[in-house]
Structure 1
Amino acid sequence: MRLLSKRNLLFVLCCFCLNLGVAIDTITSSQSIKDPGSIVSNGSAFKLGFFSPVNSTNRYIGIWYSNISVFTVVWVANRETPLNDSSGVLTISEDGNLVVLDGKKEILWSSNITNSVANSSAQLMDSGNLVLQEKTTGTIIWESFQHPCDTLLPNMKISTNIRTGNKVQLTSWQSPSNPSIGSFSANIQPLNLPQVFIWKYGSPYWRSGPWNKQVFIGIPTMDYQFQDGASLINDQEGTFSFSFTYVNGSLLHLAFNTHGNIEERFWDYEKEDWEVSLALQSGCDLYGNCGAFGSCNSQNTPICSCLQGFEPKNTEEWNRGNWTSGCVRRTQLQCERVNTSSEGSKMDGFLKLNMMKVPDFADWSHYLEADCRQQCLENCSCIAYAYDTGIGCMSWTRSLIDAQKFSSAGVDLYVRLAYSDLVTKKDMKKIVTITVIIGTVSILICTYLLWRWIAKHKARKKKDKEILLFNRGEAHKTLPSDNLNQVKVQELPLFNFEKLASATNNFHLSNKLGQGGFGSVYKGKLSDGQEIAVKRLSRTSAQGFEEFMNEAVVISKLQHRNLVRLLGCCVEGEERMLIYEYMPNKSLDAFLFDPCKYELLDWRKRFNIIEGIGRGLLYLHRDSRLRIIHRDLKASNILLDKELNPKISDFGTARIFRGNEDQANTRRVVGTYGYMSPEYVIEGRFSEKSDVFSFGVLLLEIISGRKNTVFYNDEEFLSLLGLAWKLWNSDNTVALIDPMISEPFFEMEILRCIQVGLLCVQEFAKDRPTASVVVSMLKSEIVDMPRPKKPAFTERLIALDTESSQRRKSIFSINNVTVTTVQGR
């Protein structure tokens, strides 16, 4: 008997403990919450308990997120009756209602259910819903989702019943420290076409525009990812309700702030904070801000204007910026006139307004788009119409209120106007168009005749200037090649030597930016404060004179945002200098291969650099006046401006192609090992595809953060191309990505760029894409890209004997100095 009693006692204790474990999310008459106690939902998503708002000592019962670092309240029970001490209790009363008691056991707040049952309990769900239900049957008799405060959680509904007038709506807090009901409320307005309204003291403050079964068409920024989980439902019994669901498991909600703005909040797990996008963004979002027949455009100053064919009702008030008086029709409609003779015989028409937020008070009809215009035209009371595939035909017979011009989204609105208002607009367009055409033709003819006259009378002066520019002090030298003779350089500003010497502090070493194959580059500052870069040809470099002349000819013809800009030149005695715009961030290799600076290049910046180089290369090959092959595209020849935008530089070795040329040969191979294509290195053949090969190497360097030449002493690979090819074939291309930019969000874009790079460095030139195709692939305009073939220089070369080494030297250079190697600066 004693043993049986012990077993019974043990059983009772186990059940009690089990009940305690289950009850962490539940409140009963015997299990209350006393301040500062709390309960947590089963999945630990939400917590219910006592709290004090910021800058307040009052105590409230509320629900907030329990698994994030930012304290965010989503529901408050006793928002109008706060506790002024910590004596509060949340419990189940004798009649089964959920109540908040103070220290005197007086009820401050109650669920106030008349049909409640004594045997009830309240449970906090992982959805954030606090549910009061009968214990035995589980019947829900009250829930917090039916009594929201300022927050709409996923699967919570705001609704309006047009038969009973009952509303479930959001209401703002009085202030961040006072959760009592504030000035603003938000609910569904189901009459005519359902839409969401925000009210301020009972008057319209903002509206969403009609629902088209996917989005509210008056919210151009409504997230297309968010729209998949949003719905507005008519239960056919008079209730219209709006709700949304979780999207991709994201933590999100809609919050109604104290200023009347609805905020769409997403939790950013990396920043550990809410990301907020506002539904209200400008004065145009305020309801009826421009009055009747006014249109609001936040891009204009002032933002309000009358619709075409209308004028301000009160001009004095309108000019003061008080637009609520609205506008009136300038010309009476034909169908409204008593006298229909002469002018009255001309039919009314419709003015099309693109991308508009449609006005309020729209009437809906089942007409198709083709019939919508006709049924409005036949009804003299119809003053405007619009059509949306998700809504149908909308028409207006009342004043057009709350119309707004969008820069994107919206629908086309057709406003009825008298014939004279439409004709005046068309005639003005014709007059302006004809005037512009005649004026343009006249200017072109006069300009051509003036140019011919100047050309005839100043030909000798122009020739003398060209000789002065290039041959002063070098009379025995002429333009060095056919490629230069085919183009005459445009007149460039001439800088005198003294001015440049002063700007660079007599070319002091402290101003030296770098050393090239044929001279040095110095930073300078002109007397007007403009910063410049001065490329000074070495006096002992007779070979470099050709590069100097070539660069002056080539770059003077080019104008592009991704090419370095030539400001002028200096040719005095033995001095040869080119003056460029100054690039404060120097060259790409100074960032990419610097262990201290490479972290500044995140993927967005690197991709911007890749795109910019591609656009510059496309301009050189196809879009400029001349077809230019750069021949020395590498990281040290890509300069970066203060915003890290790339600019291609160093055109000393560039070649100009004639219109019918596709490739050329040279006995003097110049460039940089590791960037030169195989056909250029071995055979001296170069073309656009040679530059594409260099671009591919540069692209892979930018993605991997490693120099192509860093592998030369490696036992397995000859170059970065060999490593990239091995990883591609083993489906492990991700391993090539610089850890600094390796983020899952960008992984697909980076892998696409690696594939583009491998396509650019294929061994045979015919297999490589053109610059235009490369740019299209980078922009994802070409979806299906081919698999790359084996790149050049992917296998380890056997040591060359002396004879072959000499033979290679004879191919690369006639003076053993024109081939440069990459060195990080």
Structure 2
Amino acid sequence: MERLPLFIFSFTCLFFISKFSVAIDTISPNQTITGGQTLVSADEIFELGFFSPGTSNKRYLGIWFKSILPQTVVWVANRNNPLTNSSGVLAIGGDGNIVLLNQTETIIWSSNSSSVPKNPVAQLLDSGNFVLREGNSGINPESYPWQSFDYPFDTVLPGMKLGANLRSGQNWYLTSWKSEDDPSPGDYTYKLDYRGLPQIVLRKGSDVQFRSDPWDWAGSGIPELYRNSIINPIFAFNEEDVYYSFENINKSSISRFVVTHSGSIQHIAWSDTRLEWVVVITLPKDSCDDYDICGTYGTCNININDQVCKCLKGFTPKSPAHYDAHDWSGGCVPRSPRMCGSGEGFRNFKQMKFPDKSSFKKNMLSMDCEAACLNNCSCVAYAKSGILGCIFWYGDLLDIREYSEGGRELYIRMAASELGKCFCISSEFSINSQVTMMG
């Protein structure tokens, strides 16, 4: 690894033999952070320094809430390369990047920005964002060559993003700690999937564990996790960005999202009266949140007592014996085989969680959605977007659930016989006369 020149290392160590006499939030090229020294944001909300998690003897550079005990770490720099003793030094290197050095003066972590300021400083902001910026300019998020908010680990704070910048390729997603004592990357990731409608997906390795309700360009279908009385959700879905962010309604309140090492997603808020973190909501919260629990064309309803899974109307279990035994993995199949071009239509299902693997087409009138799907034999379902656009599904539908309130309207392709349609032949000429019955 790269080494910081010895004379710079020696000078900076001498410069900080004693601890800071006053709290500061910024370091410049002639300053360092070592040992028990820390940076503290201007309003003393966040603190940056070295810590050892739990019972571990390893040391990491991290950011935590200054006034909250026990220590709650929200970001870690060297989670893949811990220090083995107390010799770590945080500095600005000769190339203008923020660097972390071990006892042999080897760089074990760097901001690694290809574009650095002429007069670089590193600053810890009251948002919890640790930024590299031009020392002669003010705080301007658009001009940061590097910021910790672009590299989240297990926590999302107000102002951070989950999603992607479609032009730069920047991705913002969460990775769990390996354990309470080990911040190295764990088994779980929480990442935005924007191949169709945006949805945030929890995975263990490559296996999907849970996915949120998707949302559209208008923010319709906001997932439950991201709407409550504590926060204002922020959704972006445009040509340049697709992401979720949030702000606290009460600016003085403290809340965060975290993916735990045990595989749950939590929205947590700090209680000033109880002096502890309070879990606002945890996902997955019930068996219907388990990914694809009911198989293809199966729908999950947690309010059904005897069995939560059933086949959608117009479908039947692929293996009735397995389905009755609560083994729903085989899913369901159409009761009447669909034959494209034979008078098929759509059944309307309400209060649904949209199936996985959607496809979104913008700039289409809602009245055109049905015709577009009907004229494509591969299209098995459609929905209308909150604004000009249509949502389509191709292939088997999976991971559907039914809500007692809320949810969306989904139109699923059915054989004519399932919709109560008959086809009459006139004695003078052939016509297809469809009589639609309620059902």
Query: What TM bracket, shorter-length normalisation?
Result: 0.7 to 0.9
Structure index of larger Rg: 1
**Shift of residue 287, structure 1, vs aligned partner:** 2.4
Tell me if the contact between 1:95 and 1:118 (Cα under 8 Å) persists in the aligned partners: no
Secondary structure at the counterpart of residue 325 of structure 1: coil
Task: Quote how far apart the aligned CAs of 1:117 are.
Answer: 5.6
Specify which of 348, 351, 354 is matched with residue 344 of structure 2.
Answer: 348
CA distance in 2, matches of 1:182, 1:353: 39
Name the structure 2 match of 1:260.
Answer: 263
Offset of 1:321 from its aligned partner? 4.1
Q: 2:235 touches 2:242 (CA, 8 Å); kept in 1? A: no
With over 3 angstroms needed to count, the CA separation of the structure-2 counterparts of 1:197 and 1:221, relative to structure 1, is closer
- 1:215 and 1:227 in contact (8 A); partners too: no
Deviates more, 1:123-132 or 1:97-106: 97-106
Separation in structure 2 between the aligned mates of residue 229 and residue 329 of structure 1, nearest angstrom: 38
CA distance in 1, matches of 2:59, 2:103: 12
Deviation at 1:174, TM superposition (A): 1.0
SS at match of 1:132: strand
**Mapping 1:45-194, distance limit 5 Å:** 45-116=45-116, 119-137=119-137, 140-162=144-166, 165-194=169-198
| Whole-angstrom distance in 1 between the partners of 2:27 and 2:327 | 55
Residue 278 of structure 2 corresponds to 275
Change (3 A) 1:62 1:96: same
> Cα distance 1:391–1:35, how it changes in 2: closer, same or farther (>3 A)?
farther
Partner of 1:304: 309
Q: Does the residue aligned with 1:228 lie in a helix, a strand or coil?
A: strand
The CA distance in 1 between the partners of 2:218 and 2:269, in whole Å, is 20
* Equivalent runs, 1:657-736 vs 2, <5 Å: none
Equivalent residue for 1:383, pick from 380, 383, 390: 380
Residue 70 of structure 1, CA deviation: 3.9
Aligned residue in 2 for 1:199: 203
Q: Kindly state the Cα deviation for residue 415 of structure 1 after the two structures are TM-superposed.
A: 1.9
Whose strand proportion is higher, 1 or 2? 2
Cα shift readout 1:487-532 (whole Å, capped 9, x = no counterpart): xxxxxxxxxxxxxxxxxxxxxxxxxxxxxxxxxxxxxxxxxxxxxx
- Percent identity between the two aligned chains: 39
CA distance change for structure 1 residues 61 and 325 in 2, over 3 Å: closer, same or farther? same
State which drifts further: 355-364 or 27-36.
Answer: 27-36
Q: In structure 2, which of residues 223, 227, 244 is the aligned counterpart of residue 223 of structure 1?
A: 227
Change (3 A) 1:248 1:117: closer
- 1:698-731 CA distance string (max 9 Å, x none): xxxxxxxxxxxxxxxxxxxxxxxxxxxxxxxxxx
Tell me the distance in 1 between the aligned counterparts of 2:191 and 2:394: 25
Considering only aligned residues, what root-mean-square deviation do their CA atoms show, in Å? 2.9
Report deviation, 1:375.
4.1
Distance 1:266 1:228, change over 3 A: same
1:221: Cα distance to partner? 5.6
Question: Structure 1: which 5+ residue stretches go unaligned?
Answer: 1-19, 338-346, 431-825
Structure 2: give runs of 5+ residues left out of the alignment. 1-19, 422-437
Deviation of 1:259 after TM superposition, in Å, equals 2.8
DSSP 3-state at the match of 2:248: coil
Quick one: structure 1 residues 108 and 316, their matched pair in 2 at CA, closer, same or farther if it must change by over 3 Å?
Answer: farther
Find 1:360's aligned residue among 345, 356, 359: 356
Where do 1:341-740 residues align within 5 Å? 347-365=343-361, 366-389=363-386, 392-423=389-420
Aligned AA (2:344): D
- 1:46, distance to aligned residue in structure 2 (A): 0.3
Provide TM-score, normalisation by structure 1.
Answer: 0.45
Name the residue aligned to 2:250.
Answer: 248
For 1:383, what is the secondary structure of its paired residue?
Answer: strand
Give the Å deviation of 1:149. 0.8
1:286 Cα deviation from its structure 2 partner: 2.4
CA shift at 1:179, angstroms? 0.6
Amino acid paired to 1:335 = C
Q: Is the CA contact 1:218–1:410 (under 8 Å) kept in the aligned structure 2?
A: no
| 1:312 shift after superposition | 2.7
Mapped contact 1:175–1:258 kept (Cα < 8 A):
yes
Cα gap change, 1:64 to 1:135, in 2 (>3 Å): same
Q: Could you tell me whether the CA contact under 8 Å between 1:157 and 1:243 is conserved in 2? A: yes
Q: Which has the higher helix share?
A: 1
* Gap change, CA 1:423 and 1:219, over 3 Å in 2: same
Match of 2:297 in 1: 293
Q: Deviation of residue 65 (structure 1)?
A: 0.8
2:340 to 327, 335, 338: 335
Q: What SS class does the counterpart of residue 376 from structure 1 fall into?
A: helix
Structure 1 CA distance for aligned equivalents of residues 31 and 168 of structure 2: 37
The CA distance in 2 between the partners of 1:176 and 1:394, in whole Å, is 41
Deviations 1:440-474 (A, max 9, x none): xxxxxxxxxxxxxxxxxxxxxxxxxxxxxxxxxxx
Q: Show the counterpart of 2:39.
A: 39
Q: 1:285 to 1:390 in 2, by over 3 A?
A: farther
Give the C-alpha shift of residue 58 in structure 1. Answer: 1.6
- Per the alignment, do residues 118 and 92 of structure 1 end up closer, same or farther by CA in structure 2, a change over 3 Å counting? farther
